[in-house]
């Protein structure tokens, strides 16, 4: 049996303790699969006195994660502290400088610094692995970098933030408004310390940017992801969409087009009966489309102690085995700088607006759509409960239209003088 692979574990929170438990519970299994034992030698966290749900007595305590990363008795840094700057970045850089491999669950770190860190690691002949950073327990990074390595990827899509999917599906199931369910999610401990990372779409945008880099061979470009969170999704829209056979999801889509790389993370309508439409609660789903393989759908827990630690361990065991894959599936120096393309792929749109209920009001809206070159597929006027007599809610589903034509039409609506409040436009994604 070869020498053990020695881990320095930076972070003893949800994920870190999950890693400790798997290594302690499955020592023999891991050793058999890796061909050598995998052991933790030293750990680091902020508060040494904190009561943690695991036996840490056999590990050296290192107060400073940077010192942990550089220790002689550490072969691999497992970084599960979080944060895109500060100790996570410093410890990762220190590990690479000291010639160690790194496993991280930190999507924020890689979305912001992935290119520089991958180049630094490769210059030292080391690897950075991040299976846990995207869609928790779903092995999507391995699938893209290895299982689908022979494909030209066409599109990657997915629901990659469990908290948002929990909020949207709970709103629908209970008929509750966003604010109430947001508060429930907070009470349940689902929200990140900064909730905007979840509901603002940022966390999911980080994940999409990482998948896009692998799928399309481009440098991570999180700053070019079109981002819109779920804060404006109303229970009315969820119910009206449901009536028409759609569910609303915070959906990420990345694809390479003739104009450049499109990346968007926005609320979308998807067919209720589709795999994405059926996705309930905090679960994640990633859809991968390659030229040879066609479509692959992967579903599973996107977060939580066990699923996330499972993904960390897959990376650790690969390193123990000697499996070495470049961070983004090819040498970082060969990743292209992407031309960022604003989404132009046409789609049908769901439009909801409140109009003055008077002769000619609807005609003005129809004219604005016609002038934008947009054709109406379905239209309904609804009497919403409690709506005043002089107001009417109007729901329109368009035929396929480009995002810029829809934006033009929305601007035209404002000039009609019949609109009350802001209209809503949500893309209907074909999945
Ligand atoms: P967490 O529960 O908040 O734990 C963070 C750990 O890092 C804590 O043990 C904390 O120490 C330690 N830490 C923070 N700052 C530190 C510092 N300056 N020096 C030393 N230790 C420090 O976080 P988590 O949920 O485990 O998440 C860890 C990483 O995994 C994040 O990047 C997150 O985005 C990612 N991730 C998490 C999940 C999930 O389900 N939780 C899923 C996918 C990815 P104390 O305990 O002493 O405070
Ligand atoms: N906040 C994230 C989510 C955790 O809700 O999916 C996992 O990255």
Q: In terms of CATH architecture, what is 5-133? A: 3-Layer(aba) Sandwich (3.40)
Break the chain into its structural domains and give their ranges. 5-133, 143-301+328-334, 348-428
- Is 103 close to ligand 1, i.e. is its CB under 6 Å away? no
Q: What confidence tens digit (pLDDT) does each residue in 211-258 have?
A: 999 999 999 999 999 999 999 999 999 999 999 999 999 999 999 999
- Is 45 close to ligand 1, i.e. is its CB under 6 Å away? yes
Q: What confidence tens digit (pLDDT) does each residue in 140-198 have?
A: 999 999 999 999 999 999 999 999 999 999 999 999 999 999 999 999 999 999 999 99
Q: In terms of CATH architecture, what is 348-428? A: 2-Layer Sandwich (3.30)
Model pLDDT, residue 102: 98
Model pLDDT, residue 386: 62
Of the ligands numbered here, which is closest to the C-alpha atom of 161? Answer: 2
Model pLDDT, residue 289: 97
Q: Which ligand 2 atom is at minimum distance from the Cα of 190?
A: 5
Q: What confidence tens digit (pLDDT) does each residue in 360-411 have?
A: 999 999 999 999 999 999 999 886 666 667 889 999 999 999 999 999 999 9
Model pLDDT, residue 381: 87
Q: What confidence tens digit (pLDDT) does each residue in 342-354 have?
A: 888 899 999 999 9
Model pLDDT, residue 431: 86
Model pLDDT, residue 387: 61
**Mean predicted confidence (pLDDT) in 325-339:** 97
Q: What confidence tens digit (pLDDT) does each residue in 85-113 have?
A: 999 999 999 999 999 999 999 999 999 99
pTM of the prediction? 0.96
Q: Is the pLDDT reported for residue 77 higher than 90?
A: yes
Of 107, 140, 163, 310, which is best to mutate to test ligand 2, by the most ligand atoms within 8 angstroms of its C-beta?
A: 163
Distance 163 CA to ligand 2 centre (A): 6
Of 303, 304, 311, which is best to mutate to test ligand 2, by the most ligand atoms within 8 angstroms of its C-beta?
A: 303
Q: Is the pLDDT reported for residue 331 higher than 90?
A: yes
Q: Is the pLDDT reported for residue 6 higher than 70?
A: yes
Q: What confidence tens digit (pLDDT) does each residue in 266-296 have?
A: 999 999 999 999 999 999 999 999 999 999 9
Distance 81 CA to ligand 1 centre (A): 4
- Is 15 close to ligand 1, i.e. is its CB under 6 Å away? yes
Per the CB < 8 A criterion, the answer to whether 90 and 170 are in contact is no
Of the ligands numbered here, which is closest to the C-alpha atom of 307? Answer: 1
CATH, domain range 143-301+328-334:
3.30.360.10
């Amino acid at each position: 049996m070869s020498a053990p692979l020695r881990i320095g574990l930076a972070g003893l929170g949800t994920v870190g303790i999950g890693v400790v438990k798997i290594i302690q519970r499955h020592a023999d299994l891991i050793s058999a699969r890796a061909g050598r034992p995998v052991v933790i030698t030293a750990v680091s966290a902020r508060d040494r006195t904190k009561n943690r749900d695991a036996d840490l007595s056999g590990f050296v305590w290192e107060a400073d994660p940077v010192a942990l990363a550089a220790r002689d008795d550490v072969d691999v840094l497992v970084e599960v502290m979080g944060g895109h700057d500060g100790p996570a970045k410093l410890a990762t850089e220190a590990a690479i400088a000291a010639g160690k491999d790194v496993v991280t669950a930190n999507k924020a770190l890689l979305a912001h610094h992935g290119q520089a860190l991958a180049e630094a690691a490769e210059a030292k002949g080391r690897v950075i692995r991040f299976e846990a950073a995207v869609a928790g327990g779903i092995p999507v990074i391995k699938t893209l970098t290895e299982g689908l390595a022979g494909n030209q990827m066409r599109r990657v899509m997915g629901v990659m933030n469990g908290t948002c999917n929990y909020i949207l599906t709970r709103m629908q199931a209970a008929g509750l408004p966003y604010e109430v369910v947001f508060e429930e999610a907070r009470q349940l401990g689902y929200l990140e310390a900064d909730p905007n990372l979840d509901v603002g779409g940022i966390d999911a945008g980080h994940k999409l940017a990482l998948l896009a880099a692998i799928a399309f061979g481009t440098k991570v470009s999180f700053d070019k992801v079109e981002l819109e969170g779920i804060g404006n999704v109303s229970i009315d829209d969820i119910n009206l969409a449901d009536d028409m056979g759609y569910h609303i999801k915070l959906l990420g889509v990345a694809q390479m087009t003739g104009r450049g790389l499109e990346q968007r993370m926005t609320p979308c309508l998807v067919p209720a009966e589709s795999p994405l439409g059926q996705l309930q609660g905090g679960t994640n789903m990633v859809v991968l489309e390659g030229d040879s393989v066609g479509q692959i759908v992967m579903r599973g827990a996107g977060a939580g102690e066990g699923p996330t630690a499972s993904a960390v361990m897959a990376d650790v065991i690969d390193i123990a085995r000697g499996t070495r894959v470049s961070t983004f599936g090819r040498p970082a120096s060969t990743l292209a700088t992407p031309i960022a393309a604003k989404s132009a792929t046409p789609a049908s749109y769901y439009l909801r607006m409140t109009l003055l209920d008077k002769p000619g009001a609807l005609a003005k809206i129809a004219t604005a759509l016609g002038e934008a070159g947009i054709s109406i597929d379905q239209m309904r006027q609804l009497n919403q409960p409690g709506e005043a007599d002089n107001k009417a809610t109007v729901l329109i589903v368009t035929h396929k239209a480009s995002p810029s034509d829809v934006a033009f039409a929305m601007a035209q609506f404002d000039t009609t003088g019949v609109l009350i409040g802001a209209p809503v436009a949500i893309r209907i994604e074909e999945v």
